[in-house]
Amino acid sequence: MISQFLLSLITGLFVGGVSGYLGSLMITKRMALVGDALGHVALPGIGLALFFGLDVSIGAVFFLLIGVLIIWFLESRTNLSAEALVGVLFVVSLALGFLIIPDFELLEALIGDISSVSLVSTVVSAIISVTALIIIYKIYNKLILSNVSGDLALVEGVDSKKYNLFYLLLIALVVSIGVKVTGSLLVGALVIIPAAAAKNLSANLRQYSLGSLILGGLSCSLEIIISEWTNALAGPVIILVSASFFLISLIIRGLRGQKMRNY
């Protein structure tokens, strides 16, 4: 029988790694806060999952997939940016979430509870993480190209609209498994902080994306170990560990005296 601690550790390693890797792409596309906002879009789904006794990721992914499809459709039909559309869904979902979720389950919905993850949930999270990682790797350069120049992407045969949909769906999948680790309130930090720290330490795009993956997985793993020792809430500790890595990266960058490329 696999211990609860080991299940949590494995889940955190996979989810943290893919979140950091996706975060490197989101920061490059100037959409770092979208992951944070989409975490709140998942809140009504988390509430319904808790009400019916289901895994929170099931409810989260349902609402997130609907949300990103709405964003993608409206973005292609209006002049509004993805950030603006996410902002509208964010506040509506937040209001619905607080109406749906009972007070005694609100804390779990907001900051997660990775300590109670099951074997099935761990396996599913690992499969989703690996699948998302492979897909992100395959379309990474195409998304970067479409972000740099839509016209150049078109010349190269890159359908920016299609790849942006893939991108939003990947965010939804990663956020849906991330809410189990840090809850809807803090899930944005899983994609933002490790990638930001890796950016400070990287000299090129390859180092940046790989460093984001490593720091994301390492942050979650260390947090789970610390949480096991101290009995502290896992979600907030993950953020503090990630923030510590970011602070260290700032110090290292300052000591190097380097000016990193703006990739």
Q: Is the confidence at residue 260, as pLDDT, over 60?
A: no
pLDDT, greater one: 184 or 230: 230
Could you tell me the pLDDT band of residue 130, with boundaries at 50, 70 and 90? very high
pLDDT more than 90, % of the chain: 11
pLDDT, greater one: 100 or 262: 100
pLDDT, greater one: 31 or 170: 170
Could you tell me the pLDDT band of residue 238, with boundaries at 50, 70 and 90? confident
Could you tell me the pLDDT band of residue 100, with boundaries at 50, 70 and 90? confident
Q: Which tens digit of pLDDT belongs to each residue from 215-230?
A: 999 988 887 888 778 7
Could you tell me the pLDDT band of residue 49, with boundaries at 50, 70 and 90? confident
Could you tell me the pLDDT band of residue 231, with boundaries at 50, 70 and 90? confident
Mean pLDDT of the chain: 80
Mean pLDDT, range 175-196, rounded to an integer: 80
Q: Which tens digit of pLDDT belongs to each residue from 58-89?
A: 888 888 888 888 888 887 777 777 677 777 87
pLDDT at res. 149: 66
Q: Is the confidence at residue 181, as pLDDT, over 90?
A: no
Residue 158: count of CB within 10 angstroms of its CB: 18
What domains can be seen in the chain, in order of their start residue?
A: 4-256 (1.10.3470.10)
pLDDT at res. 213: 93
Whole-number Å distance between alpha carbons of 24 and 136: 11
pLDDT, greater one: 115 or 1: 115
Q: Is the confidence at residue 47, as pLDDT, over 60?
A: yes
Could you tell me the pLDDT band of residue 259, with boundaries at 50, 70 and 90? low
pLDDT, greater one: 244 or 105: 244
pLDDT at res. 32: 67
**Sign of the C-alpha dihedral, residues 139, 143, 149, 150?**
positive
The CA-based dihedral angle spanning residues 87, 89, 90, 93, taken in that order and rounded to the nearest 10 degrees: 170
Contacts of residue 42, Cβ cutoff 8 Å, sequence gap at least 6: 59, 60, 61, 63, 64, 93, 175, 176, 179, 184, 187
Cβ-in-10-Å burial (0-12, 13-18, 19+) of 98 comes to middle
pLDDT at res. 124: 87
Contacts of residue 196, Cβ cutoff 8 Å, sequence gap at least 6: 23, 27, 32, 246, 249
Mean pLDDT, range 35-41, rounded to an integer: 73
